[in-house]
Structure 1
């Protein structure tokens, strides 16, 4: 409700400023152009990197220092903490990185955002940067017409940089002309009142603009033109850091538990950092003066000293908070419990992964294993066994387990298939369709193979529906011969399920292939023996013709179930195309 009222009021106020004050219009236009530039740069790096950024983030979170370094470097390069956050939340939701690794990246990303201040203070306020902006935009637009995604991405980056530089130029010109009519520095406030007022202003500006980088650019250009004094600029910078936590928390309200955890981690980090900066503001200012002299930054170059201050207090924040990362991780896991995921709902298909090919492939594969877990449950219950009956036991005991099992499982196989297999399969297919839009031909082929694996799993559960009916009937039969045949059918299926369970964590793909080939051979051998046995039972009048036709059909169902599961696992458990092709030749 409050947002519905505040948003129109902000638009009215903005319109008033734009039409009533020429200088304000130039400054606000500069901020808008700067933000457009950041968006172009973000999109450009997505195309230009070709998935490198995602691979680096995924593989560089094994320790907290590495995660922090990854967060710093990735944000420094792409100039977008929001892009990094989206990738991190997506990876976290798909189980590709740990929460502690994600928190480390967020900490490092905070340091990475300070590079914007260095760019603005180093180039934006010293030279006529607009002279470089136009050529960048022109060449960037030309590159955007290229057929190559890499060149398109590079074009977007150039356009983005051009707009960033142009926005800085507008802000600087706006403040310079404003000073002739109104010198804002006369409203400077020193002491603790100034700290409170300017921190609040910095936070509010960031909440309104929705970008701490744009706020820092605004602060630096105002400082460079003498519109604010140095100490107030430091306070505004602290406020900008605090303001980002508010925007992150607001964005996380509609997010999943992982998004909320990262938002709170970000909030705790920035508030802690802000408190340290406020308490030791004047001491940090002295440290900045000392380091500036060592870094050959001129005494009067307040813009670069502000950038240095911004970097120092974020580094101090990381040094103070990062030793408590694992405790913070446990706290956040307790604060936000994982959403209870229905078996019919996807666990690893975060929509953010659709734009990240490698991560999308991993997410699809994990979700198909989730589908198989569901299928394994209904297949086991369909032959009147629980999964714990055959997991962890020797294969030689399976025959005894099957014979001694009771018909005490009341799973509605049809309902299970509809609610927990078919619906989840539909989600996988839908996600895969979106993910393939961002993939090259090789990745699209892998998705196609994974979809075949998913389809095979689904087909196996369709067949168990028909088989289950006759198993229920004939296991209650007084005819021991037909009962024995159906127990053999159950045994053949449970042997496949147990073997898959035993090899699913195997890392040697040759060993996996060997185990699957043994299953295929035993399946063929069983079919031959079963056909001979059925013929013999018919000739000796041990089963009637109705039993015989049911047995023939159900033996076919059992064969198809096992065959589909084996083929699905040959795709899911073997990544090497060479080994897959070797299996096909065998």
Structure 2
């Protein structure tokens, strides 16, 4: 029997009931809603106006622990959203752009950066008519939002988001001031240990519901400033909000790979340890807050600012406890959440976590195409009766080819369906999402190019399928000239596979397209030499025209596969900046040099590939 979800109707009904009981609560609820909406606009605006700037900074920020930590602090202070920083970090970690240690460092820093929000609200938002600043911001933002320029549109969204943040704070402040005349919430205050535990749990639950520690803190601060909360209970709520803020990272990690899940767990561990330490040391922390407040000339009854001091202090305490053991934490996370042996037939990098940001979208797709290339090279070599491990470790490819005569156990069609077709379908489905992402034209172009590269790789695998039957027929035994001819094809294809495999394991900064151009020239020369040799064998009556045609068809498929693989490798693995591109443009061999006019047309098989045309080449040879 199908069950119904009554959560949404119950939530809406509960809100309407509360609004009917106390109309002033509508103002507080509206303030929370406007604040959350402003945060979403601010995030969206920064994504557009930044044009990937935050993502580029993030890539560079993880070169050391100190950089990662500072990036977490700075980015959260700028965005006023530790949740967004966590989501971006999980996305980059899932795409393999940053290390786990770097990601953990960013999350640690984000917890410190989030304390700046409490200072801004307590020091400014509650002391001036902040709503008056919101109005001109919203008026200016609407002009910018309707501009066609993405940066201007993004600035408009960010400015409007900031205006809504201010307006939400003002609504919450006014709502609590009005509500105070009807009901005094301090009657529900709980002193001592019970109050500490209960309000910590309430703070965590409120943050989970709103999915924003900033919104929870603003609510706590406005309630505290209006006298609706006791100072002790507000401290407990702030501790609880630190635990609840991990829910966003946990939700984001559900669609991520194991690296993303490790980072979400690190975030949870940091915040729980910080909260437990704050609860245990609540008395000395309160004393430290009083001492710091006196030093900063904060009034003894300015509890909002004292709460901001406390929020910063206990987060710094958590950082001091966790930072020395960061490496040990990373090792523990790897042990608790081990990376399972990947299933080569399933996508390794295409997941929901990398789908959010343009740079991770492209990077994940590129790495999945490289995964498809690895699968294709392995299957192609097996289709030629060559173990890939033997080829990739060989120092004498011709000798390795001659040494492998025994037929490998392989169902080519089944392997193609599992290891190639399934991945290709996932790549096509993922790249098709580009229409919903409104990516920059240059990124969209590279995504479409990667999709085409995947298609070329698939065609190379299919080409080898056509010649596999004769490869097995004439190379499992040493049958003279015919075996020599097919071994020649196998050696050339093994060389291409070897070079591409080596390229994929080379540092991206050291990769060059020049040798690929040389390979393309070599392929055309080999195709031409092979055709000339077959012509000579026909003239010498060593091969019949029918048998020669069969071999030429097979060689056509082989050289077509080699062209497709080298072209795919060039487009997939060579990552060049503009300066390098200009140099290589000068050095790259001219296109006409790649196509010798004397070479035979190799765009497709000369005749239909009909095995019935294959005479007993060995006998005739």
TM range (shorter): over 0.9
Q: Does 1:583 align with 2:588?
A: yes
Deviation of 1:217 after TM superposition, in Å, equals: 0.5
For 2:189 and 2:428, the matched residues in 1 are separated by: 60
Counterpart of 1:121 in 2: which secondary structure? Answer: helix
Unmatched segments (≥5 aa) in structure 2: 592-621
Aligned position for 1:440 = 440
CA contact (8 A) 2:83 2:212 kept: no
For 1:2 and 1:308, the matched residues in 2 are separated by: 48
For 2:429 and 2:511, the matched residues in 1 are separated by: 33
Aligned position for 1:260 = 261
For 1:511 and 1:59, the matched residues in 2 are separated by: 21
Deviation of 1:261 after TM superposition, in Å, equals: 2.1
Aligned position for 1:515 = 515
* 1:94-117 Cα deviation digits (max 9, x unpaired): 111122222222221122222221
List aligned pairs for 1:138-177, cutoff 5 A. Answer: 138-177=139-178
List aligned pairs for 1:63-462, cutoff 5 A. Answer: 63-245=64-246, 248-249=249-250, 252=253, 256-338=257-339, 341-394=342-395, 397-435=396-434, 437-462=437-462
CA contact (8 A) 1:346 1:367 kept: yes
For 1:350 and 1:7, the matched residues in 2 are separated by: 28
Change (3 A) 1:476 1:13: closer
Change (3 A) 1:317 1:510: closer
For 1:206 and 1:367, the matched residues in 2 are separated by: 36
For 1:489 and 1:214, the matched residues in 2 are separated by: 67
Deviation of 1:247 after TM superposition, in Å, equals: 6.0
Q: Does 1:571 align with 2:576?
A: no
CA contact (8 A) 2:83 2:249 kept: no
Change (3 A) 1:499 1:181: closer
Aligned position for 1:542 = 542
Counterpart of 2:348 in 1: which secondary structure? Answer: coil
Change (3 A) 1:509 1:463: farther
Change (3 A) 1:253 1:561: closer
For 2:446 and 2:264, the matched residues in 1 are separated by: 34
Deviation of 1:319 after TM superposition, in Å, equals: 1.4
Deviation of 1:241 after TM superposition, in Å, equals: 1.3
Aligned position for 2:604 = none
For 2:3 and 2:268, the matched residues in 1 are separated by: 22
Say what the alpha-carbon RMSD is for the aligned residues. 2.4
Deviation of 1:511 after TM superposition, in Å, equals: 7.0
TM-score norm. by structure 1 comes to 0.93
Deviates more, 1:238-247 or 1:136-145: 238-247
For 2:447 and 2:244, the matched residues in 1 are separated by: 41
Change (3 A) 1:240 1:338: same
Deviation of 1:479 after TM superposition, in Å, equals: 4.5
Change (3 A) 1:255 1:523: closer
CA contact (8 A) 2:94 2:354 kept: no
Deviates more, 1:566-575 or 1:244-253: 244-253
CA contact (8 A) 2:173 2:226 kept: yes
CA contact (8 A) 2:36 2:165 kept: yes
Deviates more, 1:140-149 or 1:256-265: 256-265
For 1:344 and 1:578, the matched residues in 2 are separated by: 38
CA contact (8 A) 1:353 1:435 kept: no
CA contact (8 A) 1:68 1:105 kept: yes
CA contact (8 A) 1:384 1:407 kept: yes
Deviation of 1:300 after TM superposition, in Å, equals: 2.8
Deviation of 1:311 after TM superposition, in Å, equals: 1.2
Deviation of 1:534 after TM superposition, in Å, equals: 1.0
* 1:510-560 Cα deviation digits (max 9, x unpaired): 873342233233323322221222122222332334321111111111211
Deviation of 1:402 after TM superposition, in Å, equals: 1.0
CA contact (8 A) 2:94 2:353 kept: no
Q: Does 1:482 align with 2:482?
A: yes
Deviation of 1:431 after TM superposition, in Å, equals: 2.3
Deviation of 1:2 after TM superposition, in Å, equals: 11
Change (3 A) 1:551 1:409: same
CA contact (8 A) 2:83 2:248 kept: no
Change (3 A) 1:328 1:3: farther
